[in-house]
Homo-oligomer: A and B are copies of this chain.
Amino acid sequence: MSKILRVNMSDLTVKLEAVPDKYKFLGGRGLTSAIICDEVPPTCHPLGPNNKITFAPGILTGSGAPTAGRLSVGCKSPLTGGIKEANSGGVAADKLARIGIKAIIVEGQPKEKGKFQVLKVSKDGAELTPAAAEWVGKGLYETYPKMLKKFGEKTGIISIGVAGEMLMAMSGIAVNDPENRPSRYAGRGGVGAVMGSKGLKAIVIDDAGGSSIPVANKEAFDSGRKKMTDALKQHDVTKPGGGLNTYGTAVCINVINEAGALPTRNFREGRFEGAAKISGETLNETCKKRGGVGMTGHRCSPGCIIQCSNVYPKEDGTELVSCQEYESLWSFGANCGIDSLDVTGELIRLCNDYGVDTIEAGATIGVCMEAGLAKFGDGKKAIELIHEIGKGTPFGHILGGGTALTADIFGVVRCPTVKRQAMPAYEPRAIKGIGITYATSTMGADHTAGYTIAPEIFGVSGKVDQFIVEKADMSRSFQYVTAFLDASGHCLFVSFAILDIPSGLEGMAEECNGVLGTNWTVDDIGRIGGDIIKMERAFNEGAGFTKVDDRIPEFMKYEKLPPHNVVFDVSDKELDKVHNP
């Protein structure tokens, strides 16, 4: 019987609770959002005693379903002021699931600031112990090995870095990858600051004695797993030796650049002259050429069969960083006018080390460059700026506050955020559907909330012209299915396969039916995902959000984006139609 672990940081107590009936069929984002909606007042201060932070593996995590090892983290976001779910790969979710933890809820707040605890969870229970001095105030590449040495090399570690300790709104939460790098992140929305505000440095998970999660209907599960696996192995994007496996997510750089939608120099242009140098193709070649530890086709999480991560080597073949994701090397690359994988790699490594979201960090550096505080293309200065964050200087605190705060501080009007969260690597002026998702997602600007890029650029589930503005229905449908995916524990990248291959989608429903004993059909997927979104919207409404928050930044409505010279011309009516069809 799985349990909910409740951790009170005011009195440093822990208790295991039975899973309420209403949470029985929930997992991942579905569960974290339900807990936040049920237990957190929407108007509370995100860093105050009345916010909570919750962690949940997906429904399928720990079941042996392929590519289903995501960990959802939920709270009220200090970045957006709304509800937040950020999910991560890495080894932790699987371990939590295997010892029967359906969710961890961390609540309360210590009176004394700057003291940190570590929560240790195992099959036998949980306990809080003071964090050793050497684990605090240091980079995660230094502290992870120390924590692993203390708790065991097979431990899953969910930890904040110094940015989270300093309550910065761009701080994420790290999870170790299969080789124990602090490299997988629940990055977005400042979840690290909320964990920091609770005085919780890390959660360490020992899954010794654990086992696969119970399956209510083995036949359904096995059938579903086979269908999903087959779909993933068939589809050109997800199959072994396919696009993601070979080039990583960076496969998008050349494609999106070609589409005129790669935001360049703080969203001034849609095409970057240096794109080829930071492309997936170049990344792959460099890994091969330099040899050593360099590789694409790396697995970020147990049980993943897509394996789109990479390990990027220095010139001498030793490791610089894992992983150069599309979003990260866009944010520091094209968006900052930087065309060197060695520079983007170093910037990503620093973000992993200090514990910040690479999308938010790159967008913030872009705004700094816009403000004239650094020159576009100046990688050395960009590295210095990220160090400011780690050092916690006043300037570092500005940057650590994220893109919108930095823009406010320096009076920058060209601020590419929605609900104060930085936009990812797709220009909404040039690809209208993703703009609709950015505007209307419950999460702030977020490509993972409804990845309409699939049809708009890749032709997945049928090609749709990128400039068509009537895409409220499309965005809604993507947002709903994605919310289900985020609840399932599957990685978003299964969506390529399940959108194109009907049996893949059936497989996902069957996998869930197998674990939960439900009778969901593919038609239930959108309904269940829609219920999650509606619940999240209700929270946001309670926090004071209105349709004014479901908008793209004003400057994108009057400033034309080259090379297509387009503005964001989706009507407010179309935007409002997403959640009021």
Cβ of A537 under 8 Å from chain B? no
Please report the total number of A residues contacting B with Cβ < 8 Å: 41
**Do residues B411 and A551 form an inter-chain contact, with CB atoms below 8 A?**
no
A397 CB contact (under 8 Å) in B166, B169, B410: B410
Question: Once the chains are docked, how many angstroms separate the CA of A42 from the CA of B546?
Answer: 13
Which residues in B have their C-beta under 8 angstroms from that of A18?
A: none
**Do residues A548 and B542 form an inter-chain contact, with CB atoms below 8 A?**
yes
State whether A167 and B410 are in contact (beta carbons under 8 Å apart), knowing that A394-B393, A397-B398, A554-B50 are contacts in the complex.
yes
Q: A83-120 toward B: CB 8 Å interface, digit per residue (1/0)?
A: 00000000000000000000000000000000000000
Identify which of A30-38, A401-409, A442-450 touches chain B: A401-409
Whole-angstrom distance from the CB of A41 to the nearest CB of chain B?
Answer: 8
Cβ of A276 under 8 Å from chain B? no
Q: A525-569 toward B: CB 8 Å interface, digit per residue (1/0)?
A: 000000000000000001111101101011100100000000000
A411 CB contact (under 8 Å) in B166, B413, B544, B546: B166
Considering only CB atoms, which chain B residue lies closest to A548 in the complex? B544
Interface centre among A43, A408, A545 (most CB of B within 10 A): A408
Which residues in B have their C-beta under 8 angstroms from that of A168?
A: 411
| 18 A-B pairs (CB sep. < 8 Å) | A42-B548, A43-B551, A44-B554, A45-B413, A45-B415, A45-B554, A47-B411, A48-B554, A48-B555, A50-B554, A168-B411, A196-B411, A197-B413, A393-B394, A394-B394, A398-B398, A401-B408, A405-B408
**Do residues B409 and A554 form an inter-chain contact, with CB atoms below 8 A?**
no
**Do residues A411 and B167 form an inter-chain contact, with CB atoms below 8 A?**
yes
Question: Once the chains are docked, how many angstroms separate the CA of A195 from the CA of B252?
Answer: 43
Question: Once the chains are docked, how many angstroms separate the CA of A548 from the CA of B544?
Answer: 5
Whole-angstrom distance from the CB of A355 to the nearest CB of chain B?
Answer: 14
**Do residues B43 and A548 form an inter-chain contact, with CB atoms below 8 A?**
yes
Cβ of A193 under 8 Å from chain B? yes
How many copies of this protein are present in the complex? Answer: 2
Interface of A is mostly: loop
Which residues in B have their C-beta under 8 angstroms from that of A394?
A: 393-395, 398
Whole-angstrom distance from the CB of A171 to the nearest CB of chain B?
Answer: 10
Considering only CB atoms, which chain B residue lies closest to A402 in the complex? B408
Which residues in B have their C-beta under 8 angstroms from that of A167?
A: 410-411
Whole-angstrom distance from the CB of A69 to the nearest CB of chain B?
Answer: 31
Whole-angstrom distance from the CB of A96 to the nearest CB of chain B?
Answer: 28
Q: Give chain A interface residues in 169-187, CB to chain B under 8 Å.
A: 169
Which residues in B have their C-beta under 8 angstroms from that of A401?
A: 408-409
Whole-angstrom distance from the CB of A157 to the nearest CB of chain B?
Answer: 23
Whole-angstrom distance from the CB of A144 to the nearest CB of chain B?
Answer: 24
Which residues in B have their C-beta under 8 angstroms from that of A50?
A: 554, 558
A193 CB contact (under 8 Å) in B49, B411, B553: B411
**Do residues A548 and B543 form an inter-chain contact, with CB atoms below 8 A?**
yes
Question: Once the chains are docked, how many angstroms separate the CA of A197 from the CA of B413?
Answer: 10
Question: Once the chains are docked, how many angstroms separate the CA of A558 from the CA of B48?
Answer: 11
Q: A27-68 toward B: CB 8 Å interface, digit per residue (1/0)?
A: 000000000000000111101111000000000000000000
Interface centre among A47, A78, A193 (most CB of B within 10 A): A47
Whole-angstrom distance from the CB of A551 to the nearest CB of chain B?
Answer: 7
Which residues in B have their C-beta under 8 angstroms from that of A48?
A: 413, 554-555
**Do residues B398 and A409 form an inter-chain contact, with CB atoms below 8 A?**
yes
Whole-angstrom distance from the CB of A129 to the nearest CB of chain B?
Answer: 24
Which residues in B have their C-beta under 8 angstroms from that of A393?
A: 394
Question: Once the chains are docked, how many angstroms separate the CA of A518 from the CA of B408?
Answer: 44
Listed from nearest, the 10 A-B pairs whose CB atoms lie closest are: A167-B411, A544-B548, A394-B395, A48-B413, A45-B413, A397-B409, A544-B546, A394-B394, A401-B409, A45-B554
Whole-angstrom distance from the CB of A196 to the nearest CB of chain B?
Answer: 8
Kindly list 16 other residue pairs between chains A and B, CB separation below 8 angstroms, not including A48-B554, A50-B554, A397-B409: A44-B554, A45-B415, A45-B553, A48-B413, A49-B558, A78-B408, A166-B411, A167-B410, A196-B411, A393-B394, A394-B395, A397-B410, A398-B398, A401-B409, A405-B409, A544-B549
Whole-angstrom distance from the CB of A494 to the nearest CB of chain B?
Answer: 36
Whole-angstrom distance from the CB of A360 to the nearest CB of chain B?
Answer: 14
Which residues in B have their C-beta under 8 angstroms from that of A197?
A: 411, 413
Considering only CB atoms, which chain B residue lies closest to A415 in the complex? B45
A408 CB contact (under 8 Å) in B43, B49, B169: B169
Question: Once the chains are docked, how many angstroms separate the CA of A550 from the CA of B481?
Answer: 36
Q: Give chain A interface residues in 339-374, CB to chain B under 8 Å.
A: none
Q: A404-432 toward B: CB 8 Å interface, digit per residue (1/0)?
A: 01001111010100000000000000000
Q: Give chain A interface residues in 119-170, CB to chain B under 8 Å.
A: 166-169
Which residues in B have their C-beta under 8 angstroms from that of A413?
A: 45, 47-48, 197
Interface centre among A193, A394, A546 (most CB of B within 10 A): A394
Question: Once the chains are docked, how many angstroms separate the CA of A408 from the CA of B410?
Answer: 15
Q: A384-404 toward B: CB 8 Å interface, digit per residue (1/0)?
A: 000000000111011001000
